[in-house]
Amino acid sequence: MFAMTVLYDPECGLCRRAHQWLAEQSKLVELRFIPCASDEARRHFPYLDHDLTTKDLTVVADNGAVYFGPKGWLMVLWALARYRDWSYRLAKPELLPTTKRVVSMISQHRYQLGRVAGLSK
């Protein structure tokens, strides 16, 4: 795997901030960012359920593997040189349920969190 596409929500301030942060990190795998459910996203992945990608972060690897929600977040961590170790740690069977719960909670409340942090448009 050499590149991954991150389908992010351009409407959410938290996601835009995360996008900026990710752009600054040194990566082991190239990351491409495309707004979810955009024409560009539909062109790249014609068979993907694009309504689903608006609900939570989706990562598509260049081999077509789709990682949705918490799995997508883990894959983004895995792509970063400094946090690859953490992706393995958080994906361990003992920690995975907690990881999923926390990530889902952040995702569901991303607009509110973005507003509280003053990141909305």
Partner 1 sequence: MTIGITTYVVYLAVSIALTIWVGRTIYKNGRVFLIDVFHGNETLADSVNHLLVVGFYLINFGYVSMALSLGYAVHDAQESIEALSTKVGMVLIVLGLMHFGNLFVFSCLRGIRRVRPQGPPIEPDAFTAVQQEA
Question: Which is closer to partner 1, CB of 5 or CB of 114?
Answer: 5
- Only one of the segments 13-21, 45-53, 102-110, 112-120 lies at the binding site for partner 1 (rule: CB under 8 A); that segment is 45-53
Asked if residues 98 and 89 have their Cβ atoms less than 8 Å apart, the reply is: no
Of 12, 37, 33, nearest to 110 by C-alpha is 12
Q: Is 30 in the site for partner 1 (CB under 8 A)?
A: no
Question: Which is closer to partner 1, CB of 61 or CB of 113?
Answer: 61
Cα-based angle 15, 20, 25 (whole degrees, multiple of 5)? 120
Q: Is 17 in the site for partner 1 (CB under 8 A)?
A: no
Closest separation between CB of residue 105 and partner 1, Å?
A: 19
Of 110, 29, 13, nearest to 69 by C-alpha is 110
Per-residue mark of binding to partner 1, 87-106 (x: CB under 8 A): xx-xx---------------
Of 56, 82, 81, nearest to 71 by C-alpha is 56
Element (H, E) at 5: strand 3-8
Q: Is 33 in the site for partner 1 (CB under 8 A)?
A: no
Give me the residues that bind partner 1 (CB under 8 A), please. 1, 43-48, 60-68, 71, 74-75, 78, 84-85, 87-88, 90-91
